[in-house]
Each structure stands twice: as structure tokens, then as C-alpha cells.
């Protein structure tokens, strides 16, 4: 199980995405300034949350990891999926 896998640097931290991140991720993906650098999204915040909940199965299996990039004060500022 990888529930607490984090990467911390001098100014940023990567932490595994959680269902409660759905609103932030949906906002990124629907903002024209950022969405051109991210996979497109259709649907609602609820749909994004459902996608994250389904993704957690792949995370548990070690197939992929989806991180929220946040400043050390816990302010989210991006996402990355590995």
C-alpha cells in the first residue's frame, strides 16, 4: 500500500491525490490558461471525484501515481500523473 507516498523539496511537495482534490483539479482542467497543458475533462466536479476514486485502485496496484503539487504551506498549484 502506498497511502502516504510523498516527495518533498525545498519549496514544493508532491502528495498523492485524494477525492477531496476534485474541485481543484476540475478548476485547473476547465481554466483556459491551464487546460491546454492538461488532459481534457468533460463533466462536473462530481465526475472528477468519481474518476479519482476509481483511479485509487490503479494506485493501490502500483500501476500509476497521480500527485497534487503543493507549496509547503499546503496550497495546491498543479498536478502530475506518473
- DSSP assignments along 6-61, one per residue: EEE-SSEEEEE--GGGHHHHHHHHH-HHHHTTS----S-HHHHHHHHHHHHHHHHT
| Per-residue tens of pLDDT for the chain, all 82 residues | 555 677 888 899 999 999 999 999 999 888 888 777 777 778 999 999 999 999 999 999 999 999 999 999 999 999 998 8
pTM score of the predicted model: 0.83
Q: Are the CB atoms for 17 and 53 separated by under 8 Å? A: no
Q: What is the reported pLDDT for 4?
A: 64
CB 13 within 8 A of CB 6: yes
What is the predicted pLDDT for the residue at 78?
A: 92
Amino acid at each position: 500500500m502506498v497511502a502516504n507516498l510523498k516527495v518533498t523539496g525545498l519549496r514544493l511537495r508532491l502528495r498523492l491525490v485524494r477525492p477531496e482534490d476534485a474541485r481543484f483539479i476540475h478548476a485547473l482542467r476547465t481554466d483556459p490558461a491551464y487546460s491546454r497543458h492538461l488532459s481534457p475533462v468533460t463533466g462536473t466536479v462530481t465526475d472528477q471525484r468519481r474518476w479519482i476514486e476509481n483511479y485509487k485502485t490503479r494506485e493501490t496496484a502500483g500501476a500509476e501515481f497521480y500527485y497534487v503539487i503543493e507549496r509547503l504551506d499546503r496550497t495546491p498549484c498543479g498536478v502530475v500523473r506518473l
